Structure 1
Amino acid sequence: MTTIRKALVSESPHALSRADLGRLSLAQRITAFLDSIPVIPMPGELEGGIDDSWWDVTEQPRIPANQHARLGRLRRTAVDTAITKPGAPFKVVLYATAPAGQDPAPALTLAERYSHERGWHVVGRFVDEAADTPPWTREEWPKALRTLRGGFAQGLVTIDRTAVSPADEPYEKTLHWLLDHFSFVAHVRPYPAVTVCA
């Protein structure tokens, strides 16, 4: 190893003689000068790396996003990615929930009118009795999803989000399933209603 190389990698860059300095390039001289500056360790700096605890700053929890806005964006993304031929209308199935003894016809009529206003073709109707159970435990819900998965329809139309689930977690799981299967869900009425604080 040359004297210059030894001096550059040694702990003491001042060990270079005047003759050795004359043979160094400008970049090597600057490197030797910068290496000669003593390093002052920051408080809390450890040998293994920098310890940020001396700042006495703890990471703040993330600000929770508006859950309903996030789910709404996810629902719109599913609509945007649903497979369709250019210019061809969507094929949709109507889905409603109605407690025992209650007529689901008004909800299906509204969903059908909503679909026709958008030029979508209704290819099926499904009704379950309970909306307070997770959707995958119902009788007709899996049939509606099989219609989508089989490619016979591209979307579900409901009266509002509660027909799928009033709870956020099952609703979000449903949105992800629809997105993964290039399908979507559309609601006649937005839910929940957005309130504005004065």
Structure 2
Amino acid sequence: MSQSTTRASRAPADWMDRDNDRNRAFRPDLPRVAPDRNIQLMRLRREQMERRLAALRASGRVPRIALYARTVNGQTPARSLTAARGFAESRAWQVGREQEFTDCLSLSTAEDRLGWLQMKQRIASGFIDGIVAITRPDVSPQLSEYEHELDWLAWHGGFVALVHPENVVPQ
């Protein structure tokens, strides 16, 4: 997969970006299509994750991960947590004991979810490096809140990995 994952860089990432820059400069009359917000956030998440993983590899440390899933009617999301654990283990990431967090699906904002807040606290404290969730809506169904959470995690040295990336719709 060779695609650009840089965010708002001054230097164009590839020939298409350079061509688009020239068209913007010399052909202002052409209609412009705004980039899809979902794709922008997918790139942001992947860039932040790759940057943090590279830093961890450079220091010789294995990423320490927490698993996160949303529940319905208080049921234990065993299948979701198993999928998240399998994802983390397939990448040789360390999932510590008692590093599974769940929140009720009805709690829509991240600030209302105790499990999510506990993981953020552990990232800020340096106990974990990242979070594995199943899908983007598990982090937040609202794009602006999702971006806010990604930025907060990156600012505090964390990242989010998704079992089903933003560009894949689970069936």
Alpha carbons 1:131, 1:165 under 8 Å: kept: no
Over aligned residue pairs, what C-alpha RMSD do you find? 2.2
Q: 1:69 is matched by which residue type in structure 2?
A: I
Q: How far is the alpha carbon of 1:148 from its aligned partner?
A: 0.6
Over 3 Å counting, the alpha-carbon distance change for 1:148 and 1:65 in structure 2 is same
The AA in structure 1 aligned to 2:35 is A
1:45-56 pair list within 5 angstroms: none
Shift of 1:158: 0.6
Report the TM-score when normalising by structure 1.
0.63
Higher relative contact order (CA 8 A, sep 6+): 2
Question: Which residue in the other structure is 1:91 paired with?
Answer: 64
Structure-2 separation of matches of 1:96 and 1:77: 23
1:143 alignment counterpart: 118
Instruction: Mark the CA change 1:99 to 1:90 in structure 2 (over 3 Å): closer, same or farther.
Output: same
CA distance in 1, matches of 2:47, 2:125: 21
Judged with a 3 Å threshold, the aligned counterparts in structure 2 of structure 1 residues 138 and 176 are, in CA distance, closer, same or farther, namely: same
1:76 positional shift: 1.3
Match of 2:130 in 1: 155
Residues 132 and 165, structure 1, Cα contact 8 Å, conserved in 2: no
The alpha-carbon distance between structure 1 residues 166 and 192, as it changes in their structure 2 partners (threshold 3 A), is farther
For residues 31-54 of structure 1, give each alpha carbon's deviation from its aligned partner in whole angstroms, at most 9, with x where no partner exists: xxxxxxxxxxxxxxxxxxxxxxxx
Matched position secondary structure for 1:84: helix
User: Any unmatched runs of 5+ in structure 1?
Assistant: 1-57
Rg larger in structure: 1
The question of 1:191 aligning with 2:163 is answered: no
> What is the aligned length?
137
Question: Of 74, 78, 85, which aligns to 1:105?
Answer: 78
Q: Which residue of 2 aligns with 1:17?
A: none
TM-score (norm 2): 0.72
Q: What CA distance in whole angstroms lies between the structure 2 residues aligned with 1:73 and 1:168?
A: 13
Of 23, 35, 39, which aligns to 1:65? 35
Deviations 1:112-150 (A, max 9, x none): 000000000012111001255111111211101001111
Supply the distance in 2 between the matched residues of 1:167 and 1:93 (Cα, whole angstroms).
Answer: 22
Whole-Å separation in 2 of the counterparts to 1:192 and 1:85:
26
What is the Cα deviation at residue 61 of structure 1? 8.7
Deviations for 1:8-35, whole angstroms, at most 9, x for unmatched residues? xxxxxxxxxxxxxxxxxxxxxxxxxxxx
Q: CA deviation at 1:81?
A: 2.8
Q: Which runs of 5+ in 2 are unaligned?
A: 1-27
For residues 161-176 of structure 1, what are the structure 2 equivalents within 5 Å?
161-176=136-151
Q: What SS does structure 1 have at the residue aligned with 2:38?
A: helix
8 A Cα contact 2:133 2:160, kept in partner: yes
- Alpha-carbon shift at residue 104 of structure 1 (Å): 0.8
- Name the residue aligned to 2:47: 77
